[in-house]
Amino acid sequence: MPTLTVTGEAGVTLVFLPSPRISLRPNLTARVFGGEYRATNIKHNALSATTRFNYELIFLEGRNLICLVIGLPGSGKTTLADAIAHRFVSVRLNANEIRADLSSDLGFSVADRVEQARRLGALSRLLDRQGLHVVVDFVSPTEETRQAFGPASILVWVDRIDECRFADTQQLWESPARYDIRIPSGVSIEEEADIVMAMIEENGLLHATEEN
Q: Which sequence positions are flagged as catalytic?
A: 140
CA 108, 97, 129, 142 torsion: positive or negative? Answer: negative
User: Please, what is the Cα angle at 167 between 66 and 102, to 5 degrees?
Assistant: 40
Rg (CA), the chain: 21
Can you tell me the distance from the alpha carbon of 78 to that of 136, in angstroms, rounded to the nearest whole number?
9
3-state helix, strand, coil in the chain (%, to 5): 30, 25, 40
Half-sphere exposure of 41 (CA within 13 A, CB side): 8
DSSP state letters, 14-53: EEE---TT----TT-EEEETTEEEEEEEEEEETTTTEEEE
* Length of the chain as a residue count: 212
